[in-house]
């Protein structure tokens, strides 16, 4: 008798386990599928964003718009088909209300058709290629775009009276994006890009390129390389004495990434960078954010990835508050045009392109309290992504 009961119980359990999983998604729970590279070469991106997302939830509670928020973290190791499969499983099996994360451009591109089919709001927290938000009407971005920052660096260079610039970029999508933006913006402002150098992405040796720069004697060089490679570039730049040759070094802020800036040491002092976030940004909101982040992570300094994750969570929370979770389309409508005070300064979501509108800052690396920081010295307010506004 007893045995039969057990068998029946087992059969019942099995059948619900097989058939009933989707039905277990209860009302009143809003799941967010956070897909990040937690392992592999881009693991630092995942670490920063995850810590920031959890910090946001710790600070603001796990309820918004009457719904209980549940965060489901998945690791895609930076491989696009894994990202896509995880996103699909999150939509189909876990019935997530929103997707978030996406460390690299191809990862976001692979997921875009799913966002449309599942009508799932998708918050891009890191990937920076301009065209991502055009891939689906359900994609919104809280990081930045390469042209957004690069165009302002070019404008600033021209306004400082520089006329001859050489660009050095890593030979991959975002690098080429940056090169094109710089050449066209700087050209429109009356300057001239005398040479465009592209360095291989894998194991780059910068010395032959730096020699070319030294020979050309431009007013400045503009550099775009992935943040890890940045440290190596800065070192070789200083070793060749280019920092004392009067050639200024302009770069996208990824090169002096807050996460690794301290480890770069004095060579970093040579850089003038443009970016949308510095951990040293002077505001009460940012001070509080940096302090809480470091307390939660054993002293890790938040970088631009972290702030992208933090604001992404805010966007989802705020949209939920407004709609009470009335489906993906309503949430997207709520997100469009939303504006708030982020640790990086005032930001808003462009209702046309669903891309972020934010300040772009020019910064110098300075040593304060025995640590290196990106100190902002000039602000361009409310910059839209020029990749889409056509300017």
Partner 1 sequence: MMTDTSLSPLLASPRPNERVSRDLLRRGRWKPAEFVFWLIVAASFFFLPDRHLLLSEIAILGLFALSLDLIIGYAGVVSLGHGAFFGLGAYVAGLTSIHLTGEPLTGLVLAALAAGLLGLATGPLLLLRASDLTRLMVTLGVAMLVLEGANQAAWLTGGADGLTGVMIDPLLGRFEFDLFGTTGYAYCLIVTFAFFLIARRVVTSPYGLSLRAIRDNPLRARSMGIPVGRRILGLYAFSALIAGAAGALLTQTTMFVSLDVLAFHRSADVLLILVLGGVGYLYGGLLGAIGFKLLQDWFSAITPQYWMFWMGLVLLVVVLIGRENLNALPRTLLARFRKEGRT
Residue pair 87/15 in contact (Cβ under 8 Å)? The answer is no
| Complex with partner 1: residue 79 or 338, whichever CB lies closer | 79
C-alpha span between 55 and 286 (Å, rounded): 14
Rounded to the nearest 10 degrees, the angle between the axes of helix 227-239 and helix 207-216 is: 60
> Which stretch, 15-23, 154-162, 188-196, 331-339, contacts partner 1 (CB under 8 A)?
15-23
Number of residues binding to partner 1, judged by CB under 8 A: 38
Query: Tokens 């280019």 belong to which residue?
Result: 242
Q: Where are the alpha helices (DSSP H) in the chain?
A: 2-19, 43-60, 80-92, 105-118, 146-159, 173-188, 207-216, 227-239, 261-264, 284-296, 304-323, 327-335, 386-389
| Complex with partner 1: residue 84 or 152, whichever CB lies closer | 84
In angstroms, what is the minimal distance from the CB of 107 to partner 1? Answer: 8
In angstroms, what is the minimal distance from the CB of 174 to partner 1? Answer: 8
Q: Which 183-222 positions form the footprint of partner 1 (CB under 8 A)? A: 201
In angstroms, what is the minimal distance from the CB of 62 to partner 1? Answer: 19
Phi then psi for residue 190, to 5 deg, are 95, 0
Q: Does 137 bind partner 1 (CB under 8 A)?
A: no
**Both tokens assigned to 200:** 């291989």
C-alpha span between 221 and 237 (Å, rounded): 11
Q: What share of the chain is helix, strand, coil (3-state, %, to 5)?
A: 50, 25, 30
Q: Does 25 bind partner 1 (CB under 8 A)?
A: no
Out of 25, 29, 63, 73, name the contact with partner 1 by CB under 8 A: 73
C-alpha span between 15 and 246 (Å, rounded): 74
Out of 71, 79, 296, 300, name the contact with partner 1 by CB under 8 A: 79
> Which stretch, 1-9, 111-119, 253-261, 283-291, contacts partner 1 (CB under 8 A)?
111-119
Out of 52, 96, 100, 110, name the contact with partner 1 by CB under 8 A: 110
Torsion on CA atoms 350, 353, 357, 363, rounded to nearest 10? 180
Choose among 170, 175, 234: nearest CA to 203: 170
| Complex with partner 1: residue 84 or 354, whichever CB lies closer | 84
Out of 29, 119, 135, 378, name the contact with partner 1 by CB under 8 A: 135
In angstroms, what is the minimal distance from the CB of 46 to partner 1? Answer: 8
Q: Does 172 bind partner 1 (CB under 8 A)?
A: yes
Up-side HSE of residue 121: CA atoms within 13 Å toward CB?
30
> Which stretch, 67-75, 157-165, 180-188, 229-237, contacts partner 1 (CB under 8 A)?
67-75
Q: Does 32 bind partner 1 (CB under 8 A)?
A: no
| Complex with partner 1: residue 41 or 324, whichever CB lies closer | 41
In angstroms, what is the minimal distance from the CB of 312 to partner 1? Answer: 17
Q: Does 228 bind partner 1 (CB under 8 A)?
A: no
Q: Does 106 bind partner 1 (CB under 8 A)?
A: yes
C-alpha span between 162 and 154 (Å, rounded): 10
C-alpha span between 388 and 238 (Å, rounded): 36
C-alpha span between 163 and 194 (Å, rounded): 10
C-alpha span between 219 and 164 (Å, rounded): 5
Q: Does 74 bind partner 1 (CB under 8 A)?
A: yes
Q: Does 325 bind partner 1 (CB under 8 A)?
A: no
Which residues contact partner 1 by CB under 8 A? 18, 21-22, 36, 38-39, 46-47, 73-75, 78-81, 84-85, 88-89, 91-93, 105-106, 109-110, 112-114, 117-118, 129, 131, 135, 172-174, 201
């Amino acid at each position: 008798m007893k045995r039969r009961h057990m068998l029946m119980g087992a059969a019942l359990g099995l059948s619900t386990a097989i058939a009933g999983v989707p039905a277990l998604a209860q009302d009143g729970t809003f799941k967010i599928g956070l897909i990040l590279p937690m392992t592999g070469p881009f693991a630092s991106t995942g670490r920063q964003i995850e810590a920031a997302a959890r910090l946001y939830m710790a600070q603001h509670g796990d309820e918004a718009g009457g719904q209980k928020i549940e965060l489901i973290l998945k690791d895609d190791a930076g491989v696009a088909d894994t990202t896509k499969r995880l996103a699909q499983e999150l939509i189909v099996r876990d019935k997530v209300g929103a997707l978030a994360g996406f460390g690299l451009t191809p990862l976001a591109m692979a997921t875009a058709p799913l966002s449309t089919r599942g009508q799932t709001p998708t918050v891009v927290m890191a990937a920076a290629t301009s065209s991502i938000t055009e891939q689906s009407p359900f994609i919104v971005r809280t990081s930045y775009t390469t042209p957004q920052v690069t165009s302002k660096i070019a404008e600033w260079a021209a306004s400082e009276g520089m006329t001859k610039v050489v660009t050095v970029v890593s030979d991959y999508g975002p690098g080429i994006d940056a090169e094109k933006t710089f050449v066209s913006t700087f050209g429109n402002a009356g300057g001239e890009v005398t040479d465009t150098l592209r360095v291989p992405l894998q194991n780059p040796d910068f010395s032959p390129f730096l020699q070319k720069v030294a020979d050309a004697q431009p007013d400045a060089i503009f550099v775009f390389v992935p943040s890890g490679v940045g440290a190596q570039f800065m070192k070789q730049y200083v070793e060749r004495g280019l920092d004392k040759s009067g050639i200024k070094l302009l770069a996208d802020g990824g090169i002096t990434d807050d996460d690794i800036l301290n480890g770069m040491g004095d060579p970093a002092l040579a850089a003038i960078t443009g970016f949308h976030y510095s951990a040293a940004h002077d505001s009460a909101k940012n001070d509080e954010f940096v302090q809480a982040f470091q307390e939660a992570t054993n002293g890790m300094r938040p970088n631009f990835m972290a702030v992208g994750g933090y604001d992404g969570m805010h966007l989802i929370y705020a949209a939920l508050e407004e709609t009470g979770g009335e489906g993906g389309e309503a949430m997207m409508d709520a997100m469009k045009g939303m504006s708030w005070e982020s640790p990086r300064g005032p930001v808003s979501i462009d209702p046309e392109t669903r891309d972020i509108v934010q300040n772009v800052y020019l910064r110098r690396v300075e040593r304060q309290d025995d640590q290196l920081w990106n100190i902002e010295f000039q602000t361009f307010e409310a910059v839209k992504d020029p990749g889409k506004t056509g300017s």
